[in-house]
Amino acid sequence: MKSAKTSGGMRIAAGLLSLVWVACTATAPPPPAPVAPGAAEESPAGPYPADYETRIAVWLRIHEPDADHVELVSLTAPQRRTLEVDLPEQGLSRGDAVWEVLLVTRRRGVADPVRSSRVLFRDGVIRAVLR
């Protein structure tokens, strides 16, 4: 009779150990992706630039002298900002609302340091890239 009690206790212990092992090895859910503001939400900066990644990639292809050797290191989601300087050539004035994306690039195959830029969107268009 002792062996039946012992085997039942072993099953419970094995079950508990299995639960603890599963709990310890379970991965945490990924953080939620940044969500664009609602379509109904109006912004003085214009609509949220949902296609900002594509627009920036195209801008780099057009404006970088050797675009094939530019590596995109990081890119943030657009954030609403108030412009702190006048940029009359781009049609922007101090105090204007813009969408800002922080962009970090580097030259492939070269020991150059990374280069940070601020990409400013207004009304769905890239208006300025500040380096």
Q: Where are the domains of the chain?
A: 52-130
- pLDDT: is 77 or 25 the higher one? 77
Quick one: tokens of 61? 């292809």
Asked whether residue 63 carries a pLDDT value surpassing 50, the answer given is yes
H/E stretch holding 12 = helix 2-25
Asked whether residue 40 carries a pLDDT value surpassing 50, the answer given is no
Asked whether residue 8 carries a pLDDT value surpassing 90, the answer given is no
* Arithmetic mean of pLDDT over the chain: 81
CB-CB contact of 117 with 129 (8 Å):
yes
Strands 70-75 and 125-130 come out as unpaired
* Average pLDDT of the segment spanning 26-47: 62
pTM for the model stands at 0.68
Quick one: tokens of 5? 């009690």
